[in-house]
Structure 1
Amino acid sequence: MPPFDWRDWLARARRLWRTSLQLRTVAITVALSTVAVTIISGYMSLSIATNLYEARKQQVLAEARQATASAQQLFDSSVTQTGTIDLETANSTAQTTIRAATSNPGGTQYAILRSEGQSSAQIMQSVTSRELDISVISSELESQVTRGDGSVYAQAVSLSTAAGVDPGIVVGGAIEVPTAGQYELYLVYNVRDVQQTLDFVQQTLVIGSLLLVLTIGLVTFFVVRLAIAPVRVAADTAEKLAAGQLEERIPEKGEDVIATLARSFNRMADSLQRQITQLADLSRVQQRFVSDVSHELRTPLTTIRLAGDVLYDQRDQFAPATARTAELLHTQVERFESMLGDLLEMSRFDAGAAQLDIEPTNLVRLVEDSLEGIRPLAEEKGSELRLVAPGGYFEADADARRLRRILQNLLGNAVDHGEGRPVVVYVDSDADAVAIAVRDYGVGMSAEELERVFDRFWRADPSRQRSTGGTGLGLAIATEDAHLHGGALDVWSIEGEGSCFRLTLPRRPGRPLTGSPIDLPPVDPLDAALAEIGGGPDD
């Protein structure tokens, strides 16, 4: 049997708490009910205990007054006509009178003690009950009794018995014994019956509170289960709809709010199904149309390209106007062929037919080849091409043809919009991902342009003279190529400060990306990139 792992158990409990609305509702309800019932039960227990004690206290005070008055009357009546008193007989009779005047289920003990600091003609012997521990009479109670103002005083005490410790009440009062001076009468009441009654009440309150909380928990469980069951059915149905099972619906039962929700949900699902079906049909028609038209245009375009090449090669033999026409025809046919190739590629992406040709690829070498290919155009524009590769794991499993196409598009855009300033390419990697960033210091883009930069057939400035591309599909195809690798193509740009496109790919296909080895924009400062030419971002 494997050892108990409390961390795993705690993780499972947290996961269950986060995922179960029913558990959270029942637990919170039971917790709040427990707090409320505990407060109410505690208040009731305290009130009952106070009332029981006060009632018993008043009872023993009344008995003590009666016993004290009876003892005082007995001593007064024991004086003979000669002014003498038989103290021993009076004392014995007083004890009998005290026992008769008190009744207590727990038993009543008594003590008749002579007050200290007095002198008299006679002294009556102090007496106490056989089992009375005189130490229960505190000095505070004794000082109150010795004042002799005719009142009786009570104090709560703990009594040691054979069965343990019982609660008790000590009541004391002063008695004047003729010829013998002042004596103190103490009555000790065992109120174990009151404690037993209080224990029973408290036990009843605890059991009743537990049963009440349990009942509340069970009622909450069934009510929440009844209320959550339709929500769970709706959630399952929504998951199935999201997975493509458009025919799924919620069962409609009754006329309550849940049934109204089911009918509304089903109407929404019907509407979504119709719209999704229409959009899917329209998308298939559009994809078929683009694919068919692109393929059909291949044959006439090839013929036009051959004829145009013949005319372009013989342009020196034509008149200047005719030669210029041949050059324009050659340029536009090339652009048309490029656009047709882009359309065919997009149709493959839309149809899900695009596939990767994976092979180990050295990114630094791939970037160097791409930089050499774009260098003539960069020199014509006056932009210096720089490569920053600090070192790392530069090999990755990727489709080199698609990566080269992405780089050609990013480098072409950087040169076209770089305003003759340097274009810096960063290559870096870690154990999980590789990244390439192309940074220019040209015109940059606004926030509105950033939101549309990857849209198909969109260009930031259609009137701007471009040396590469121009169909508006380059970044859209680059994004699809990045997603096909399981990577991402991100952009940063500020007007007047330039732009930076970052391509991040997993080193092995199928692994999720958790970050990029290159910041966006790269942390390499602009001054370091421009130090050798003595320029700055505003030069």
Structure 2
Amino acid sequence: MIFGIGKSLFRRLILSFMVTVLIGLGIVGIIISYLVKGYIFESTQEEMLRKAKIVNLSIQDMSINAAETEQFLLFLDQSFNSRIWVFDRDGKIISTSTRDEVTIGKSVATSIVGRVLRGENVVSRLSFEGLNEPMLSVVVPWGKEDVVYGGIVLHSPVVGINKTVMKIRETVILTSVFGIILSTAMVSFLSWSISRPLREIDRTASKISVGNYSERINIDSEDEIGDLANTINTMAEKLEKIDYERNKLDQMRNDFLANVSHELRTPLTAMQGFLEALQDGLVEKEESRKKYYDVMYKETLHMSRLVEDIFDLIKLEHNEISLDRSPVHIGSILNKVAFKFKQQADEKGLEINVRADDTLESVYADRDRLEQIVANLVKNALKFTEHGGVTLEAYSDNDKMKLVISDTGIGVSKDDQELIWERFFKVDRGRSKENKGTGLGLAIVKELVDMHQGTIKMESQLGEGTTFTLWLPLFTPKDKNTSTIKSRS
């Protein structure tokens, strides 16, 4: 492992880099060698053809005498660094600059002679044992104007070609070594820059996988790895939220079951005690038995209200309640609810006042559910009010109907105000035993108000009373074609 880099990742990267460098440099070296070698041959060939033509110009008017011509050709040989032969139309060598290398009278290949006599130049590459450099041979016609006497042959080594190719190979090898070293350094850094955030992602993902959803990956890169880290962080946030909601739902379910059990156990225990007393004949007076029956009857009413409220709340949460919305005059609803609770208010010496102008616009609501909302709020207000009374008011407020239900009761503390919308929450302070509640009324009110696209808020001061304020949508002409709207469906 290099710099803490995992072997597999590093090995794959270094092998890919090395193969790329070696193949690339090898191909470049071969191409350069081929091009340089061809260039050297072509340039040497052109130069030798030029020299051969100079030789032709020099001897085309000269009578070929072996001794004299040989001296002149030797001079040209030393000047051009090329071996020079001259042959006649029959292909026999009649003069040379190097008598020790070739004898007079020796014949040149017939194919070459034929091409030269047709006025063509002939070029060939030769290799000889013992020579480090390849030889290049050029043959040009010997003659004047259109008259060809024979041919002139120049032989010359291609100087520097092998040395140049060797230098190119050495350069390619050195470049390859440098490339491998550079590749290793680059791969090491690249692998480290990749593996470091990947290890961070792996550690965090392992913690998330065991339920630690608060873990986050701290990577600021803006590449694909950064996108992966952001995706995992987003996933962790969602999982954390889901886990929180699940725990919250589990707690709510447990609290719900505990509260239902408690609410049912209390009246059932009381009823059981009274029934046992009646069954055992412990209550002899008719007046006392009637009192026991009256208490048991009230307990059955309490359980019945509890079950009805639970069913309503479950239906609301499962979107099983629909609203049959139509224009409703709020004044008639307030007066009906006030009349419904008048006897209960009179028994406690309280007043119920309604303030709603007959000219108020209609609200767009379900009449029965709107009456249930107002009734729950009034019933709640009467339970916590011992002196004074309850006031029901309605006002137009722009495109909303403002409904205010206030009392002069015991009030709600600031801490409790945050919990009043919770199911089964009860402000037990000052609650009379005669007025038992289920703790579901305000939760149902909140759900029904939301279904009507309305809002509700509460203001309260301990010892001064509580005020609930609702805003409900007014009926508009566009609502005429709308009949039944299902809640959040």
TM (norm. structure 1) is 0.39
Structure of greater relative contact order (alpha carbons < 8 Å, 6+ residues apart): 2
TM (norm. structure 2) is 0.43
In our comparison, the structure showing a higher alpha carbon Rg is: 2
